[in-house]
């Protein structure tokens, strides 16, 4: 039998949670992910769909799930140009794949969906972003300075490095800018980084689970790492990348959330109303990181001088 998972029309972080919930009920059945009615997707949704597909394949002994791509030609072509279709070929049996698989051309694409398997992949990501395109896009679309662009590259390096050092499994990263006029009134950069590894609980368990005792859980591990800076390394100064990432995102007025296992923790800016901690989520391996960086507000015009 085949279990059909309906991919929501808006493929984002909420859609990812919905897909995990559906996938958890498909044990023992071949899975078909129906994305025919997708109308919009961000990097987190695209990378999340890849992660769900790979997780399902692993659970079914390597049998590839089926993916029906969007019927809307523009959406399907966009997924191809973002590198999603090429990445999906390694995970899914693809139906109605688009013929248009030209190179990425959108000025809003900072980084197409990219597989992270090694330190060399991380270096390749940073080299691609440092070719000048990142500075131009961040300056023109988000109002960031050159020093901000350098910090942005460092942030991406740190969050991608997390896959290699902590996950013990490969992952993906993707970045694009969007116009969030209805939701925020500004343009944003959306960064998605995911893996299917051991997760925060697994990564920190050896060094820290004993002192938490019965309280040790996905939520406890996330809180220890995210809030208190706990790492799996004994050497002082090692494993502080997450602290640096939070500081940079906060300085730019952005949002960062991390989902791992059955929990999610987040730094929530004023413009977002998500809860800072969620527990009891459908279980999913590894860690899934979402970062949203808003464009800088233009400086207010000076008040007119009194006459």
Instruction: Tell me if 219 sits within 8 A of 227, measured CB to CB.
Output: no
| pLDDT value of position 136 | 80
| pLDDT value of position 236 | 45
Structure-model confidence comparison of residues 299 and 165, the more confident one: 165
| pLDDT value of position 194 | 94
CA gap 35, 37 in Å, rounded? 6
pLDDT tens for residues 263-272?
999 999 999 9
| pLDDT value of position 132 | 63
pLDDT tens for residues 104-156?
556 677 888 988 888 788 877 777 766 566 778 888 889 988 888 888 888 88
**Tokens encoding 168:** 């013990």
Structure-model confidence comparison of residues 234 and 43, the more confident one: 43
pLDDT tens for residues 217-233?
999 999 988 888 777 65
CATH numbers and ranges of domains, the chain? 1-103 (3.30.750.24), 106-297 (3.30.565.10)
pLDDT band at residue 183 using 50, 70 and 90 as cut-offs: confident
């Amino acid at each position: 039998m085949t279990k059909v998972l309906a991919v929501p029309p808006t493929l984002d972080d909420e859609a990812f949670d919905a897909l995990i919930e559906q996938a958890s009920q498909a044990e023992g059945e071949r899975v078909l992910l129906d994305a025919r009615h997708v109308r919009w997707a961000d990097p987190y949704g695209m990378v999340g769909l890849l992660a769900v597909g790979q997780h399902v394949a692993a659970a079914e002994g390597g049998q590839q799930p089926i993916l029906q791509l969007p019927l809307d030609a523009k959406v399907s072509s966009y997924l191809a140009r973002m590198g999603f279709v090429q990445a999906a070929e390694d995970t899914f049996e693809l139906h109605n794949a688009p013929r248009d698989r030209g190179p990425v051309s959108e000025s809003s694409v900072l980084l197409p969906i990219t597989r992270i398997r090694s330190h060399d992949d991380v270096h390749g990501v940073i080299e691609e972003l440092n070719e000048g395109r990142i500075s131009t896009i961040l300056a023109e679309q988000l109002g960031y300075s050159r020093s901000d662009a350098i910090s942005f590259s460092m942030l991406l390096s740190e969050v991608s490095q997390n896959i290699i050092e902590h996950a013990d499994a490969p992952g993906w990263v993707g970045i694009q800018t969007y116009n969030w006029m209805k939701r925020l009134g500004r343009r944003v950069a959306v960064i998605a980084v995911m893996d299917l590894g051991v997760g925060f609980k697994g990564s920190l368990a050896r060094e820290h689970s004993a002192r938490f005792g019965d309280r040790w859980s996905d939520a406890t591990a996330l809180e220890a790492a995210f809030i208190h800076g706990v790492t799996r390394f004994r050497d002082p100064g090692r494993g502080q990348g997450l602290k640096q990432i939070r500081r940079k995102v906060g300085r730019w007025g952005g949002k960062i959330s991390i989902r791992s296992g059955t929990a999610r923790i987040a730094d929530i800016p004023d413009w977002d109303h998500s809860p800072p901690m969620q527990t009891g989520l459908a279980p999913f391996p590894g860690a899934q990181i979402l970062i949203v960086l808003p464009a800088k507000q233009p400086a207010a015009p000076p008040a007119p001088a009194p006459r």
